[in-house]
Each structure stands twice: as C-alpha cells, then as structure tokens.
Structure 1
C-alpha cells in the first residue's frame, strides 16, 4: 500500500545560489559598525544558520558589542539588494532545481517542504519569483524556529504533513542540514554543489546533479529506514 512521503529542501546552497548576496550583506553589516568583515570563506561556511547564530559564530566579541546593529544592517542591505535587483537575480536557481521540484510535486504520494535559515518574508520572495511556491506544502523558517541543527523545523514539517520520519528525506548542502536530519530521525541527501565540501556532509546519500535526486530518493525509500 502506498504511503505519503515527504521531501524537505534547504534553500541557500541547495535550491538557489545566494552566496554572493549573503556575503555582500554581511560585509555591509560589519562596515556599518566600523569593523572589518570576516573572510568570504568564513561567511560562506556559516550560511544556513539563523542570522544571530551566524554572527555569533563568525565574530563573538564583535557580535556581543553590536548585536542589534549587525542584524539590522544585514537585513537592510539584503532587503535593499532584493528590492533593487529582484530575488531571482540575487538567488538564481541551480541547474535542474525547478525541474526536480516540479517532478516530485507531480507525484500525488510525495509532499514537499522547506527548512531554511531564511526568514519567511525572504523565503516567500525567492519561491514566488521562481514560480515554485505552490509546490510546497510546509514552509519552516528561522523566524519560527531555533537555528539548525536543532530538529524543530523538520519536526514541524512532519507534524504539519502527517508523514512519519522514516518516510521523510532532508535535502541539503551543509553539515548542519545533515545534523538536523539525524536529530529528527530523518534520512538525508547531500548535494555536492553547495557551500560545504561534499565529503564533509555524512549524508545518507550524496548527489552531484539535480537529475540524480529522483533515483536517490527511490533508493532510500526502498531501503529499510
């Protein structure tokens, strides 16, 4: 007998390449408080965390002195760029992302979700501009939950859809996505094109291209959880 299945996607580094805009907004936030920004590599390494956790990990002493100004500066810079250029320009889809989402959403036994370090407003803007918002049943964001790798987002996805953990898969590009999946008792597919090295992910499966996702999911669902 068929059972409902759930595929939950991360966004930044998984569906869209938003690193350029995130790095630029981070640099603007540090400039706004008169501090030198971390390196681009350091900033890329924290993509996926909620904003306050990201700043605290990047520069705890600076964050302690300028917490509100850093967060507000980042949001103003990121929102300004989005309003100027559009969300799709600053966060282009990775090749094959839209096709993979549409194909999965066409299966009546598969539900789709999002678990992201973005705020809901930013998530809605990106998904709407790319025409993907209607395909997702559950959207979990940083303004509603603790930062990854806390399992709260995934647990909310499961509760909202009624899908069992053994029938769900998390798709992401960072170690914190994979850790969140393990913390929620959910299997994972790591993507090799994102912001953490593929060999660091410790995912249940790792794929190199979006056109490999469907087969990887089929393999996972055929195997015992």
Structure 2
C-alpha cells in the first residue's frame, strides 16, 4: 500500500527565516509600521501571506492585510533578483529524503509558498523531481485547512492512515489532524515542542534523523 510523506517547506526543509524576516521588515517599513520581533514574525511562517499579515496585525482591515501581502511579494521577488534570498537546507534533510525513498515512500510538499517560490527553492537544491505532489497557497486555503494534504494524498493514491505530515508549525499539525494523517513535529523549525504537541503532533523529532522511526511506527502501528 502507498505510503506518503508530506513535507512543509519553510522551517522544515529549508531555513528561510532570516530571508522572510528581512522581507517582512522592508514591507512594514514601506507601510510605516513597526516590525514585530523576529521570534514573533517567525511564528506566522507557514501561513499563507494574507493570513500571516492578519496574524501579525489583527486590528488592521482585510484590505490592508491583502495590500501588505502584495508588498511582501514584491520585496521578496526583488531580494531574489538581487541574489539575497537564502534558503539553505537544514542538516540531515537530504539523508531523510533518501531514507524515505529507499523504503518506498512517495514524497510531497504542502506549503504557504507560491508555486513559483516553491519551484525556485526546490530547484536551487536539485530537489524538484523528487516530489510527486507540490501543493501551494496558489491553489489552496491556508493551513491548517486540510486542503493541501488531501490533494497530495489524492495525487499519490495514499490513505490518511498511510500518510505522515512533517512540519515545524502548529498549522502543519492542524492540517494533518484535519486530513486524518499523522503529524510529526519538526523540532528544528520555528514553533516549539509544546505548540506542536498541542496542535496534534504524535511526536516531535529533535532533528531529521529521528523522523524515519516515528514515521514507520505511525504507518505500521
């Protein structure tokens, strides 16, 4: 039976926090707003852009959130054109992907990035061909909606019982629970262990090397 591992991108596959915070800082500066501290800003990574702005500025109007999201896109695209986007893979990710593939798992990504942003990120690391299904904010509501996970399972022909979601945020774990899949917390990312467990993670891996054993138990148990 098909086994599927769905990965979040930012904070799980790649460490993009510094680049995202720089783009947020420029966005807020352009709008005359005070940027929240980096730790607070990183808490919204994983949400779709408009939802992330709403989480950072809940008192602002919906139109303002949408405008901020558009400004952020422009800042990020300019940073990419200037060669300033840094999205290094976390240590151990390549080995983890190898382990999943060696054991016959299919791989997918579910992310708040756009199609373009995800493609460029994965291509920069030579990873794009390894993922059967790529689900982004361009076609889905924001996590924790199960939409992205359900679409990835449909692409792979996998059942929720044979699907794990590896992600670093409570939004990833909420998506997994809503889709009936198993959520495995990526403890090397941007939310802490208590948040991940509270959102439904069955376990939190301290590093990528710990994920495989948790995934095996999840689908075999």
TM-score normalised by L of structure 1? 0.92
Give 3-state SS (helix, strand or coil) of 1:114's partner. strand
Q: Does 1:101 align with 2:101?
A: no
What RMSD, in angstroms, separates the aligned Cα atoms of the two structures?
Answer: 1.5
Asked if the contact 2:42–2:190 (Cα under 8 Å) also holds between the matched residues in 1, the reply is yes
| Cα offset, 1:68, TM superposition | 4.2
Alignment-derived partner of residue 36 in structure 2: 38
Check whether the contact 1:102–1:135 (CA below 8 A) recurs between aligned residues: no
User: Secondary structure of the residue that 1:85 maps to in structure 2?
Assistant: coil
**Structure 1 CA distance, aligned partners of 2:37 and 2:159?**
41
Counterpart pick for 2:127 among 102, 109, 132? 132
Instruction: Choose from 160, 164, 167 the match for 1:165.
Output: 160
Confirm or deny: 8 A CA contact 2:50 2:66 kept in the other structure: no
Q: 1:6 to 1:65 in 2, by over 3 A?
A: closer
Q: CA deviation at 1:137?
A: 0.2
Distance 2:38 2:74 in 1: 19
Offset from partner CA, 1:110-158 (integer Å, 9 cap, x none): 1100010111100000100001111100000011100000000001011
Return the offset for 1:66: 3.1
Which stretches in structure 1 are left out of the alignment for 5+ residues? none
How far apart are residue 106 of structure 1 and its match?
3.5
- What is the distance in 2 between the residues matched to 1:101 and 1:211? 10
**Residue 184 of structure 2 is aligned with which of 189, 192, 201?**
189
SS at structure 2 position matched to 1:206: strand
Within the alignment, does 1:199 sit opposite 2:194 as a pair?
yes
Q: Deviations over 1:36-80 (max 9, x none)?
A: 222222211111000000001111334546344312221111112
Report the secondary structure of 1:113's partner residue: strand
**Count of aligned positions:** 218
**Higher mean C-alpha deviation, range 113-122 or range 200-209:** 200-209
Partner residue in 1 for 2:53: 55
